[in-house]
Amino acid sequence: MYPIWEVPHLTAGMVLGLIATFHILPSHLSVSAMWLNVWLERKAVLEGRPELMPFVRRYAKFILVFCYVFGSLSGVGIWFAATAASPRGISALIHNFVWGWATEWVFFLIEVSGIFVYAYTFDKLDERTHLRLGLVFAAASWLTMVVIVGILTFMMTPGAWNTTGAFFDGFFNQSYWPQLFFRTTSMFSIAAVYAVVVAAREPAGPARDFVVRAAGLWGLAGLALAAPCLLWYRASLPEAVRGTLDALLTPGLKAAMLWAPVVTALYFAGLAWRPRAARFVPALAAVAVLFAGIFAFERARELGRKPWVLPGYMVSSGFVVGDLPAKGAAAQLPRLASEGVLASAPFVPAGLRTVTDLNRVEAGRMVALLECSACHTLDKAGVRPLPALVRRVGLSTPEDLAAWLDGLGAYPYMPPFIGNDADKRALAAFLAKAAE
């Protein structure tokens, strides 16, 4: 076990989710934008349309700054937040996918060096060589997605990995191809939205109109192709995951998942019809709508994973609850049911390792930090606050709450209580006190 990162009002998972949602904008833009840029550069070079080159240059600089400054910083933020929020989960993923991440980093190094060379050699390389350089960058950027999607999908649908422990059994799981196609198609809408942001600052004229109309059509095509891929992805999910989504998706998330693509599609259609209507402020508003939609979809994906970090093996609190003989790993439940989590976890204060009448509530709070804080705040307000949850179930006495904790495993999106009877009674005492 590791130290606990408690984030009042938000939870560590929500901090990670916010950083990861922002990171999707620059990371997916880097995957898709260069395809649009190279297409426009190709038209400028091979069809004799040099008036398109000012946008191509400006968009390349935008990709460089937004994707490889802000995107790289938010990527580091994801690693930091994920390591602090779920160190055992990250450790398990690294041990299983270290060579996958190593492969992804090779492509990422090609990206980072490629965008600098591409952006600063417009007048230093011949036109056809420069076009090839852009294609190499675009391909390497997409290949980073090819690799990382295998790890992302594994965290919801590990396939046969729970039996074999094999790299490729976990990587090419049942939702890998649907999610790869969904992200690949939808990323072109991200490229289109940001292309309009850049183009809106260009001088009015035929070149600007051409770029805006092209962006609108690229965006519409991306959304049209992404819709069936999303349905394919949902169909690939296990029934338990779909049930969890049906139970946990809020009306706000459902509305954002529906209306963000619809509004964005209407925006693209308007740009394709009247490109001269493109303006900078509405373009920024379209980015905000896009962010809301991405947040809703990513939030839904995270909700669908509950209560797992690695399905069938490790729950959100970091405890191993499933055996994995292929990796020589055994569930912790039998040992912790005997010894207790307070006595076993290394970062528990010495005065709380043994529960007494004097420290019962404080010890219960420590159990809540160990087992509940990944998804719930311990405050009266915040993200899924525990006091509000206790009041909602209508129980008030420690005895009733202790009996309720025994049945937590019956909820498909909640892990079972882990620990011995003393841990359970301490947690029940804390919950009763917190809900007063």
pLDDT at 24: 84
Q: Is 318 exposed, middle or buried (0-12, 13-18, 19+ CB in 10 A)?
A: buried
**In whole angstroms, what is the distance from residue 99 CA to residue 148 CA?**
11
pLDDT at 97: 94
**Which amino acid belongs to residue 27?**
S
**Per-residue tens of pLDDT for the chain, all 436 residues:** 467 888 888 888 888 888 988 888 888 888 889 999 999 999 999 899 999 999 999 999 999 999 999 988 998 999 999 898 888 899 999 999 999 999 999 999 999 999 999 999 998 999 999 999 999 999 999 999 999 999 999 999 999 999 999 999 999 999 999 999 999 999 999 999 999 999 999 999 999 999 999 999 999 999 999 999 999 999 999 988 988 888 888 999 999 999 999 999 999 999 999 999 999 999 999 999 988 998 899 889 888 888 898 999 999 888 999 999 988 889 998 999 999 999 998 888 889 999 999 999 999 999 999 999 888 999 888 888 999 988 988 888 999 999 999 888 777 788 889 999 999 999 999 999 988 8
User: Is the torsion defined by CA of 90, 93, 97, 100 positive or negative?
Assistant: negative
pLDDT at 2: 60
**In whole angstroms, what is the distance from residue 164 CA to residue 326 CA?**
6
Closest to 390 in 3D by CA, of 410, 374, 408: 408
Q: What's the per-residue H, E or C state across 136-157?
A: HHHHHHHHHHHHHHHHHHHCCC
Tally of CA atoms within 13 A in the half-sphere of 236 that contains its CB: 23
**In whole angstroms, what is the distance from residue 23 CA to residue 27 CA?**
6
pLDDT at 16: 86
pTM of the model: 0.90
Contact 226, 182 (CB under 8 A): yes
User: Is the torsion defined by CA of 303, 304, 306, 308 positive or negative?
Assistant: negative
pLDDT digit string, tens, across residues 128-168 = 999 999 999 999 999 999 999 999 999 999 999 999 999 99
**In whole angstroms, what is the distance from residue 191 CA to residue 66 CA?**
12
Contact 317, 4 (CB under 8 A): no
**In whole angstroms, what is the distance from residue 122 CA to residue 131 CA?**
10
Task: Provide the angle, in degrees to the nearest 10, between the axes of the packed helices 53-62 and 87-119.
Answer: 150
Alpha helices in 306-413 (DSSP H): 333-339, 341-344, 360-371, 386-393, 398-406
Paired tokens of 269:
């259609």
Contact 33, 403 (CB under 8 A): no
Alpha helices in 237-276 (DSSP H): 239-248, 251-273
Contact 347, 3 (CB under 8 A): yes
